[in-house]
Structure 1
Amino acid sequence: MELNPPILLHGIDWDLLTRLGTAAILGLLLGLDRELRGHAAGMRTHGLICFAASVMTISIIALWYAIGSIQADPLRLYEASGTFVAIVGAGLIVFSRGRLHNLTTAANLWLATVIGIACGAAQWPLVLIASAISVIMLSVLRVVEHKRENRLLDRDGKDER
């Protein structure tokens, strides 16, 4: 069986380290909100998913260039990632007491996967914009939702907490 030639290490590959390190840090940051709120998938889960997506992307791109064949389709990475995250996300989503739980966590895992893929492909403007907007959405919208819930509770005159 023919395999691609091994890649020898000569010092530190800073490009590779940047791609993987950025994915790991951003994954942890995306999971921080879930961790602070005590949800099922926290920092470790988000960090690992974002990091794994980056590793997979780097490997697929490297193999595609090494093989140089049209038969290797790096875009299948999205199919595989989407299927995996869909299975994990579906396992997280729970309907209990008339309310849907963990839907945001499942969506956040998908986001961590996509950002990991973008890190692996070194699409830095996309990574920066997507990360900034997602962190703002997770933090600012949580505050807005909390204020809205408090206003509704005050209006009804009930406090169910």
Structure 2
Amino acid sequence: MARWRAFEGADKLAHDLTLRSCTLDILSNLWNDLATSFTATPPSVAAMRLIAALVLGGAIGFEREWHHKSAGLRTHMLISIAAALFALIAFELVALTEATDGADGGARHDILRLIGAVTSGVAFLAAGSIIVTGRLVKGLTTGAGMWLAGAVGLACGSGSIGLAALASALTVIVQWLFRVLEDRIEHKSEREAAEEALMAGTSVERRRSAPHEPTD
């Protein structure tokens, strides 16, 4: 009986090892197929660029989310990663075209067209966040942030992560620091307007209360 149990245990262990080996082989083959499907950018580099676009787009959208704007954190992250993906697709298409048809300038022009299409699409989304009511315009800063998130995504997708990080850092500074300055300037302007209105009202009251001089 003990030998039979030992035999069953060894057989089960061998079966588990075989199953694990087959699973690893399948995963290895899938990874190799995935790696060879990338002709211009290795999978690890593509993943790094997409993650960078996601993080930097989120950094731009965090301020909008903090102030409860219509386009917040998720919107800016999605715009940035979508733009980065379009840039990666453009490089892949160029590599495939050069591999099949040879190196020519047509594929390079296709990259510029694709970037122009992405820019136009992001601008369309940004325009949708702008609301005009009479003389009051709302959403300009949000729209500009969305457009910039698209530019940051394109920079990440093309490999210029340093440039994208610098632009994102400057954007965050503008969003937070200059917002404080704008609030102070607007508060000062409102206070000056209120003081002028108060002085104007006081002047009118004095004129009304002043005795009328007789006229000849």
Q: TM-score, normalised by structure 2?
A: 0.65
Question: Does residue 82 of structure 2 align to residue 52 of structure 1?
Answer: yes
* Alignment root-mean-square deviation, CA: 1.8
The separation in 1 between residues aligned to 2:93 and 2:141, in whole angstroms, is 34
**Rg bigger for which structure?**
2
Higher relative contact order (CA 8 A, sep 6+): 1
Matches within 5 A, 1:7-156: 8-10=33-35, 13-68=43-98, 69-72=104-107, 73-96=110-133, 98-156=135-193
Shift of 1:64: 0.5
Would you identify which runs of 4 or more consecutive aligned residues in structure 1 move more than 6 Å?
none
The separation in 1 between residues aligned to 2:168 and 2:58, in whole angstroms, is 12
Listed one character per residue, the Cα deviations across residues 13-72 of structure 1 (whole Å, up to 9, x for unaligned) are 321121000101111111111111111111111000000000110111111012114332
Q: Which runs of 5+ in 2 are unaligned?
A: 1-31, 36-41, 99-103, 196-216
Q: TM-score, normalised by structure 1?
A: 0.86
Q: Secondary structure at the match of 1:40?
A: coil
Q: Give the structure with the larger helix fraction.
A: 2
